Amino acid sequence: MQTLELEIKTLLIDALNLEDITADDIANDAPLFGDGLGLDSIDALELGLALQKRYGVTLSPDAEETRRHFASIAALASFVAGARKL
């Protein structure tokens, strides 16, 4: 799972053009929104599209479920890993 978390961190940095951040700067369990990394809804859309392109995952139209998946890098990795098994 650590490899997947690193891949997602790199994808996040590349997709959102975060030039001043490295993968090491992002804690796996840190919030991606608000007080954490500070992402916003536009960032979520861009990241969601990048995840769909890279891993072929489909995000749920249920906003609450999507918020859970986007809570942290660890949550995203768990979602992607689970979606890959389907």
| CATH code of 17's domain | 1.10.1200.10
Total count of domains within the chain: 1
Q: Is 79:69 a contact under the CB 8 Å cutoff?
A: yes
Domain range spanning residue 55?
2-85
Q: Is 30:36 a contact under the CB 8 Å cutoff?
A: yes
Q: Is 43:16 a contact under the CB 8 Å cutoff?
A: yes
Structure tokens at 8: 């997602």
Question: Whole-prediction pTM value?
Answer: 0.90
Residue with tokens 């994808």: 11
- 26-61: pLDDT as tens digits: 999 999 998 889 999 899 999 999 999 999 998 888
- In this predicted model, which residue has the larger pLDDT, 74 or 83? 74
Residue 39 DSSP SS3: strand
Contacts of 65 (CB under 8 A, 6+ apart): none
